Amino acid sequence: MQIKLDRKGEVARLVLGGRFDFSSHREFRAAFAEALEMEGVREIEADLGQVDYLDSSALGMLLLLREKAGEANAKVSLSNCKGVVQQVIEVANFQKLFIIR
Amino acid sequence: MNQPMKILIAEDNEIDRTLLGTLIIRFGHQPVLARDGQEAIEVFRTESPDLILMDAMMPVMDGFQAAAEIRKIAGNKWVPVIFISANSRDEDKIQVFAEGGDGFVAKPVNQRLLEARIGTMQRIVVMQREVTAGAEQLAQYREENEQEQNLARHLLEKIIRADRFDDKQIERWIHPAKYFSGDVIAAEFTPNNVLHVILADGTGHGLAAALNVLPVIEVFYGMTKKGYGVSNIARELNRKIRQLLPTERFVAATLAAIRFSDHTIEIWNGGMPAACYVDEGGAVLREWHAAHLPLGILDDRDFQLKTEIYHWEEPGRLFLYSDGLPDAQNPEGERFGTDRIRQAFSGKACEDQFWYLVGAVNTFLERENAPDDISVASVACGMGFGVSDTFPGIPAPAGMVVPSEARLFVKLCAAEIRSFDVLPWLISWLSQLYLSPRKCQELFLILSELYNNALDHGLLGLDSALKSQPDGFGLYLDMREERLSGMQQGVIEIELERIQDGSDPFLKIRIKDSGNGYAVEAAPEPGGDDMETPSGRGITLVRTLCESVDILAKGSEIVAVYRLQ
């Protein structure tokens, strides 16, 4: 999975692309650890627009992100969810846990 | 530099042989010598050298033959062979390599060239050894992993008691993924003959997935057998999973309670695809979409218990399935999707719907294994009133004495009535009196009947007659829901007393509600005429099972006496 990290003010954005599954574990953790270390970050946005596959391990990783972000007092949002990705997020009712943009 | 290698020198000319031996020692390696092809093979067997310098032309057996033999003996271990020959035309070199030689050095031997060749071969040997060791270790891990998978499957099967449940009413199919991915289907009756079915899908694959769902199954069976409702089971499962598993692991699940006596289906769905009720023509009459997050994510305070209840007025089937089903892909990469699921049972008779669906999936998949388990469960819902199942009460150990006088009193206020599952609590107390399974079940039926009447009619003021009207049941359930959540005051008292009359033990049951009374006898329930099934309804049932039933205070207090032996 490709991950790009950028920053817009108080929001650190992780732009993810490709398959988000159990093999993305290490890169994802490394990426959000980096994002959380940035100064003055209040929100981590996971941009899923380029993700074409998302399974339950990916959902698990988002939960982990949420926990770590919570410890750093940052919110987590999910953006550009469409197609299959959006369906998975909806069935799991993750809109109850994350801000959806 | 590198470690010294043991090098076999096969050379028929004595002077050349000695010279090569000296050179090898100078290069820092250890030589072993052979005079011809035959001896080379023998020396190879006894000394196991790391590299061979082979003269192409030798008497008795030439270098090429010897090399071929040695390769067979060496097996998986690669031992490089550098051929030495005075014939160094291109055709000769080609022949060396065609015969499987790994290197060529011309005679007279150039010392530095030979040293360089040996150095190259050594590097390759080291690499090859590492790769082989890696491959062997990998094979070992794979074997251990498969054993663990088998253990997980075995454990799961035992815990689900898959062998036990051969009920014609429930059909289940799990098409496992290549690496078991944690789908489980379990079913069990409560003491009150309500069928509980759970379809759970844990994150991950293999042993990890199995570990996720093991605690789920135990809790499901335990609580169902005690008579807990689906909401409470969901809450306990959530608590347990959250407690045991790390943050990133959760379990999506659909929990269904099917009451054959009432024709109702109550479902809690956390993160699973929609369950559906399908009629005899294959049309979907009702769907239960996931209203909740999967189990193990929210903490207890935030956990949502709300279930959705449906009353079926025509026979049909309840279908539950995991996301492996709509997500299943054919070799072209197309998803099976929800439409195909609906199509599979559209127009099919009830008995066939399940197997048509299974058939459609198998045809679609063509090849063997999907990456995710595909699980489907289906329950037949007819218009009859259910089959009695024996409640596994605890048989009395020989010579066991129980207190002849024992009393339990509990008083529930509005908030407690809403969220405390009092019936299983009462039954667990009763089970300590060592009653037979049959007795336990009868008591459970009596207590449910009296308690539900006290609540529905006494406190909530609902009229049973509504249930018999067309579409009335749904209305009844909605009203019940509304009134129950809005109830501010309301008290139910329950008293159970074990008394001894001479040598005969009895249980005196007293239930009192804080309502204004209601016409107890006039509360007919659907199917009340059917006296044969123990799940026949109303106060009539209670009268049949008890020695006596007294209605006091205009119906708000009922005292029943039940013979324990």
- On whether ipTM exceeds 0.85, the answer is yes
Among B479, B482, B469, CA closest to B524: B469
Least confident range from B11-25, B283-297, B431-445: namely B431-445
pLDDT of residue B382: 83
Q: What is the pLDDT of residues B167-216, one digit of tens each?
A: 667 787 877 666 666 788 888 888 778 899 999 998 877 677 777 787 88
Contact between A64 and B248 using a beta-carbon 8 Å cutoff = yes
Mean pLDDT for B221-237 is: 92
Contacts of A84 in chain B (CB under 8 A): 335
List, in sequence order, the alpha helices (H) in B27-162: 37-47, 63-74, 90-98, 111-160
* B291 touching A (Cβ < 8 Å): yes
- Candidates B203, B290, B293; nearest CB to A56: B203
Mean pLDDT of chain B: 84
Return the H-helix or E-strand segment holding B181: none
Q: Do A56 and B204 touch (CB under 8 A)?
A: yes
Select from A16, A27, A7 the least CA-distant residue to A78. Answer: A16
Q: Residue B435 pLDDT more than 80?
A: no
| A contact set with B (CB within 8 A) | 22, 55-57, 59-61, 63-64, 67, 84, 88, 91-94, 96-97
Contact A94 B293 (CB under 8 A): yes
Asked if B293 and A93 come within 8 Å (Cβ–Cβ), the reply is yes
- For residues B409 and B152, which has the higher predicted lDDT (pLDDT)? B409
pLDDT tens profile A11-49: 999 999 999 988 898 999 999 999 998 888 899 999 999
Contacts of B205 in chain A (CB under 8 A): 22
- Please determine, for residue B82, whether its predicted confidence score (pLDDT) is greater than 60: yes
B97-150 pLDDT, tens digit each:
888 889 889 888 899 999 999 999 999 988 988 888 899 899 999 998 888 878
Mean pLDDT of B366-377: 74
What percent of chain A is predicted at pLDDT more than 90? Answer: 70
Predicted confidence at residue B481, as pLDDT, reads: 86
Q: Cα distance from A10 to chain B (closest Cα, Å)?
A: 26
- Supply φ then ψ for residue B513, to 5 degrees: -115, 160
Interface touch B290/A55, C-beta < 8 Å: no
Q: Which of A57, A67, A93 comes nearest B204 by C-beta? A: A57
B217 CA: distance to closest CA in chain A (Å): 20
> Does the pLDDT value for residue B289 go beyond 50?
yes
Shortest distance, CA B272 to any CA of chain A (angstroms): 6
Q: What is the pLDDT of residues B338-351, one digit of tens each?
A: 888 888 888 777 77
Decide if B203 and A57 are in contact by the 8 Å CB cutoff: yes
Determine the residue among B212, B248, B373 to mutate to test chain A binding: the one whose Cβ has the most chain A Cβ atoms within 10 Å.
Answer: B248
* Helix, strand or coil, per DSSP, at residue B463: coil
Residue of A nearest to B274 (CA): A91
Decide if pLDDT at B308 tops 70: yes
Evaluate if pTM is beyond 0.90.
no
pLDDT band at B26 (very low <50, low <70, confident <90, very high): very high
Question: CA B118, B119, B120, B122 torsion: positive or negative?
Answer: positive
Distance CA B286, CA B235 (A): 24
Using one digit for the tens of pLDDT, what is the confidence trace for B244-258?
Answer: 889 999 999 999 999
